[in-house]
Structure 1
């Protein structure tokens, strides 16, 4: 066995046993076994016997408190570890634990986190608020000020400045190449400031809402900047309508991937 393979083997074993230790913590704390073994606290017990930090111990105990009355989630935790149910621990109830257990089993970690985030947003729709107005004072000479006033015409200053800032939308491109032209890429990313269209994370990919394998085009109207988690959700078939406005995606209870998405998922799994 070479050094790399040896390291991988020991690493996988360490991960397996760390998960086991995390699952035992709650019962050890409840029965105060740490005290019977002459440790000052559950934290000292976990640190000295399993190398666990205080934050990790608190996290494990917190997760277990949320799922201890939910057999379906306990089963997932026993199979995949407590971290697998962390995203759904606080949103699940005894009544819908089976629903969330299914998501914890079948969704990749990033996609699960984004599913929960979007599900919460769908359950508690935000009220539309008026954009905050900010007053800006600039010093201009009289000639420049007069020119700007003339250019503005009957528009409000907000409309006028917005027009100056508007970037001309590039034309869609029909092609067999998956390479997205730089002009289109720059335009699409500028709409979200380089962030995911559905959350505040950095965009990892430009997603074709109208699948490229079907349309064979790069259309700035249907390209979405997405983080990895939201990109996975889209291809797994959990999004009701990918054309919904920025930050307004809605999730399905069950996945409905298209044939093209099934191919994508198969490719991702290798």
Structure 2
């Protein structure tokens, strides 16, 4: 094992362990809130599933990536590779879906009475559980095609028809089949990203209009609920922007890898690092802002 491999392994190990512990810490706080108060607010429930999705992504991608960085590349058989890639795709898709749901729900929550979304304010909380269930179902079904072309590297004599994925490999397919797979896998992502951008812009406009209205009002006359919702919205916007940035960079690297017959070591590892950045960073972003701690906010 070279110094470069060891340093890379330490980075992935720190990212994976730190991220998993951070997500589990927040997850147990939400579970404690549920068992002590026997209820979860809508945002609590959404973030609860976000922590689960983040942990799934980190364990299914971070652990094998760390082992591969330390030189343990032939530790998976075909079934192990298929299972790990499938779990990662489901976890990654759920992180996107849940972040999109959180952004949309907050936009509806802070919308003024005359706004278009105001009619959904009362009904929105009752739809949260159904929306989360639909997100899980969609990701589980859509990503079934992912394991079909993923195989282990060990024991494969002919690698000319396969593309190296560091610790696994994937079968090369014709252009038409690959295009169909890309469309099927990217369509939910494009929809979620579009909704996140739309709701983020809407929340920014709502916050701007709100500040314009209260600019000349004395601070003591501004309702605490309005101030709380404003702070919560700003933190959700930061969370969404972090996700969009990391996802965009990760997607760019993935496109480069897909179009390269033999991706470089640096490109593959930096792509893996960016794909794990949001799941690992998300819980610490929430903890830094003391976001949604039990009893701290009522959104």
Structure ranking higher on relative contact order (CA contacts 8 Å, 6+ apart): 2
What is the TM-score with the length of structure 1 in the denominator? 0.26
Relative to its length, the structure with more helix (as a share) is 2
